[in-house]
Homo-oligomer: A and B are copies of this chain.
Amino acid sequence: MNFASDNAAPIAPEILEVIVRANEGFALAYGNDDWTRTLERRMSALFERDVAAFLVATGTAANAIAVAHCCQPWNSVLCHAQAHLATDEAGAPEFYGGGLKLVELPGDDAKIAPETLRAALGRGRGVPHSVIPGALSLSQSTEVGTVYHSDEVRALAEIAHARGLAVHMDGARLANAVASLGCTPAEITWKAGVDVLSFGATKNGAMEAEAVVFFDPQRAEGMASRRKRAGQLISKQRFAAAQFEAYLRDGLWLRLARRANAAAARLAEKLGSIGLKPVWPVEANEVFVVLPHETDQRLRQAGATYATWPREFLPPGTSGSQNDELIRLVTSFATSDADIESFVRVARGT
């Protein structure tokens, strides 16, 4: 009953297999290999335009290096107050960005509303006293398992672009969003105004494969140096490239994501049927519920793993007593029906 995170799941068999296959003979290091070259072409095909893609070692690095590359150190990055960038990366954007500042915005369902963005851009005393907004960062899917529709992204991107901001998408769970929306990767990214994407595969079946994708390759000038000095240029890059290559080939990434999303939907439905309604709409692979402390204890004793979530993030007006816990359940391609059923059974307590 592991619902701790999708990165607690194993490597998908197809991806493990490609690692073994990539291990034939010598291959020049630092990306001067055939797997990397193939991946570059595949990325461009996937997004229906020439892109510049840079593999990095972690999702935190992908986010931090992406926003740093779009900003001057005296810029701010506007993001939701629950964004991973803001809450879970120990200041990585600030470090990579030479001291840039995150401005955290509120918003229902962990999404930023256009009027919130517009108001935020209207604040401040101006140059040289205030930091200058430099980028907008959107998480897709969000930290609470919701997704932005392409018209929502477009509306935000238009506001951002009108003020000269770059638009970044944290796509650590992009696959879950695309699978949920049924759109193309192009539609939800550059066609909706996204300039740079953190594209993660690790949470959806890879061992370790994260990329930063610039939809305008010119925007990537200097990235090779920036990545190297960040210690993010992997020497045996063929293995990271191969993982991504297998991930994207024949739609594996969407098959894996659909499985994860379906598991979340099933889990949500069953929890709902025993009175544990999801706190936020279940649109990707995460389910949040509020449950009594006793239920939480019973589940943990039964061996279930999952994260307790800060109650301060609960929507205003959520009912519940002091005794309740807000918990996060994350599903993955590897989540079994049996685990879902066991979990719900223990939660029900009978």
Question: Which residues of A are interface residues toward B (Cβ below 8 A)?
Answer: 2, 4-5, 7-11, 16, 19-20, 23-30, 56-62, 64-65, 72-74, 76, 87-92, 94-102, 123-125, 127-132, 202-203, 207-208, 222, 224-236, 239, 305, 310, 312, 334
Contacts and interface: CB of A to CB of B under 8 A. Distances in A.
A96 B224 CA distance: 17
Given A7-B236, A73-B95, A94-B101, A229 B89 contact: yes
B232 A58 contact: yes
A233 B128 contact: yes
A312 B122 CA distance: 11
A231 B98 contact: no
Contact of A90 (B11, B28, B128): B128
A247 to B, nearest CB: 14
Contact of A231 (B87, B125, B232, B310): B232
B233 A231 contact: no
A308 B305 CA distance: 53
Given A98-B98, A99-B95, A58 B233 contact: yes
B64 A231 contact: yes
Contacts of A10: 23-27
Contact of A95 (B24, B129, B229, B234): B229
A207 B127 contact: no
B92 A229 contact: yes
A127 B89 CA distance: 10
B58 A91 contact: no
A88 to B, nearest CB: 5
Main secondary structure of the interface of A (DSSP, over half): loop
A299 to B, nearest CB: 16
A227 B127 CA distance: 11
A74 B9 contact: no
B229 A91 contact: yes
A131 to B, nearest CB: 5
A158 B101 CA distance: 28
Contact of A89 (B58, B124, B228): B228
B57 A234 contact: yes
Contact of A9 (B16, B26, B76): B26
B90 A99 contact: no
Nearest to A64: B231
29 contacts: A2-B25, A7-B29, A7-B236, A8-B29, A11-B23, A16-B23, A57-B58, A58-B231, A58-B235, A61-B230, A61-B232, A64-B229, A65-B231, A74-B91, A74-B225, A87-B124, A89-B231, A90-B131, A90-B228, A91-B131, A94-B229, A95-B230, A99-B99, A128-B233, A129-B228, A131-B225, A132-B225, A208-B234, A208-B235
Contacts of A62: 231
A93 B7 CA distance: 30
A129 B225 CA distance: 7
A260 to B, nearest CB: 13
A93 to B, nearest CB: 8
A261 to B, nearest CB: 18
A57 B89 contact: no
Contacts of A334: 26
A305 B29 CA distance: 12
Contacts of A7: 29, 235-236
